[in-house]
């Protein structure tokens, strides 16, 4: 995975899968259970969590690249 496009392709797959499974599930719960500012805050929290997880996966892939070089 020393080619950046390989890492980007894998990240696209991971991001899509994670967003659909976790983001969709949690977003559905937020939509049915929360209203007003609480709903907005929970949605922002879910998006931030998704972003942090994706950054973590990116760092893991970056570490794998550095170990192989």
For residue 10, the tally of other CB atoms under 10 A from its CB is: 14
More confident residue, 16 or 65: 16
What's this model's pTM, rounded to 2 decimal places? 0.70
Structural domain containing residue 46: 38-69
Give pLDDT, residue 7: 77
63 found inside a domain:
yes
66 found inside a domain:
yes
Average pLDDT value for residue range 44-59: 87
More confident residue, 51 or 62: 51
Contact 46, 29 (CB under 8 A): no
Number of domains in the chain: 1
Digit-coded pLDDT (tens) for 10-50: 888 888 888 888 778 887 877 777 788 888 888 888 889 88
d(C-alpha 15, C-alpha 11), whole Å: 6
């Amino acid at each position: 995975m020393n080619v950046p496009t390989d890492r980007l392709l894998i990240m696209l797959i991971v991001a899509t899968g994670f967003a659909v499974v976790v983001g969709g599930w949690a977003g559905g719960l937020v939509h049915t259970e929360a209203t007003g500012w609480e709903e907005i805050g929970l949605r922002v929290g879910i998006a931030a969590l998704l972003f942090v997880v994706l950054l973590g996966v990116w760092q893991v892939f970056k570490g794998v690249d550095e170990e192989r070089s």
